[in-house]
Copies of this chain bind each other. A is one copy, B any other.
Amino acid sequence: MLTVAAAIEKLVATVQPFGLTDITLEDSLGLVLGEDVYSPEDIPPFDKSLMDGYAVRSRDVSSGFASLRVTEIITAGRVPMKNVGAGEAAQIMTGAPMPGGADVVVKIEETSRDGDQVLIKTVPLRVGTNTILRGTSASAGDRVLRIGDVLSAPRIGALAELGYAVVPARRRPNVAVLATGDELVPIEEKPGPAQIRNSNASMLAAQIEIAGGIPVRLGIARDDRDELRLKIQQGLQCDILVLSGGVSAGTLDLVPITLAEMGVTEIFHKVDMKPGKPIWFGKGGRNGLTDHGDCSQCYVFGLPGNPVSSLVCCELFVRTAIRRLMGLVPVMVPPKLAKLEHDYSTRPDRPTYHPARLTQRAGSLAVTLVPWHGSSDLCGTVAANGMAYLSGEARQYRAGDELETFGW
């Protein structure tokens, strides 16, 4: 059976990053920039005051004291009308252009005004004090951002400053979520005697959102070929389709059969892990280019129906596919090393992702495994905020041992 690492490798070889599209700047948070960005002009575009005060010639205030004649008021957004000559000053606001002749700004708190005279009472100021010169942040032609930069708030601000109302980037994928199974009822319904509520769809949609995708909720499909075909058809219009349930070995596990009929090719089925072994992954189901022009096929995940299996598979595989489409690096969220807070012994088993409580201690991360009754026990995971990796060998872990962990 495939290891998790081998399955991830196949997934990454299969899923190709989106092409670049123009994304409105206000929708670009968290996206990966697709091109180097050069400043089209000097930033700031003019010598500028950083304070409210008086623009003066530094040699006029070399003693710290002076009485100067005020020649104009320069507000932000206005071009200075006059040069500042010897013995002169221009009142100036934060962000306003420096007038010719002046090379420092004296803060308003260090002045007093008397008619058209201003009395300066400051310390000797270095040339340039309280100003920023044209091109200090960036000169025209400087590279400000690099291809691959993830768009954070300050980077979005810098792009706005440079005039980028749209940015070349990889968009977020649409990810359809479809729960399958005759045992499922919607959350708001009272389950019958052999039924349970559809918990996976809400959980998977939240995971997809955290991963960077846009969840598209398709509800529940009964274990009925026609209903399944119809819902799958809808899901294949998205970039990724995530099904839960119907992929293990039972006679009603219709998902792989139905997907095959619809032109979705299997890439892998079953991975050596716990929970989540029956996971199915494939691609296809669409012909030719889509509206977006950047993805001719849908990537399809069949996740096992037990909720903790779905949870873990979504974290490891669906999240990685979303990150791959978006061009995020590293493609898989890397594990964090954490110190186990208690002893723990394991029997031989498949490699296991165990619900765990991660706590930031001074300078290091600590992890406690939470009591857990296996793949169907979602309520047992609510005390967890992540999972810890146990290799599958029989082992006596000791408090203080380091485990690989993943936060939710």
Contact = CB atoms under 8 A, between A and B. Distances in A.
A13 interface: no
Interface stretch (A58-66, A257-265, A372-380): A372-380
A48 to B, nearest CB: 7
Interface residues of A, number: 109
B249 A108 contact: yes
B161 A307 contact: yes
A13 to B, nearest CB: 27
A196 B95 contact: yes
Given A108-B250, A250-B93, A305-B95, A161 B378 contact: yes
Interface string A157-185: 11111111100000000000000011110
Contacts of A385: 152
Interface in A185-229: 187-188, 190-207, 209-210, 217, 223
A331 interface: no
A44 B94 contact: no
Interface in A267-305: 304-305
A137 B378 contact: yes
A75 to B, nearest CB: 5
B25 A202 contact: yes
A38 to B, nearest CB: 11
Interface string A46-75: 101011100000000000000000000101
A132 interface: yes
B183 A138 contact: no
Contacts of A147: none
A68 B196 CA distance: 30
A248 interface: yes
Given A50-B374, A194-B96, A311-B153, A379 B163 contact: no
Q: Specify which of A76, A162, A375 lies most central, judged by the most chain B CB atoms within 10 Å of its CB.
A: A76
A44 B154 CA distance: 48
A87 interface: no
A73 B144 contact: no
21 contacts: A44-B196, A46-B194, A50-B374, A51-B248, A76-B182, A77-B183, A79-B193, A95-B183, A95-B306, A97-B194, A132-B377, A153-B207, A154-B203, A157-B311, A158-B199, A160-B203, A161-B196, A161-B197, A337-B363, A363-B364, A364-B364
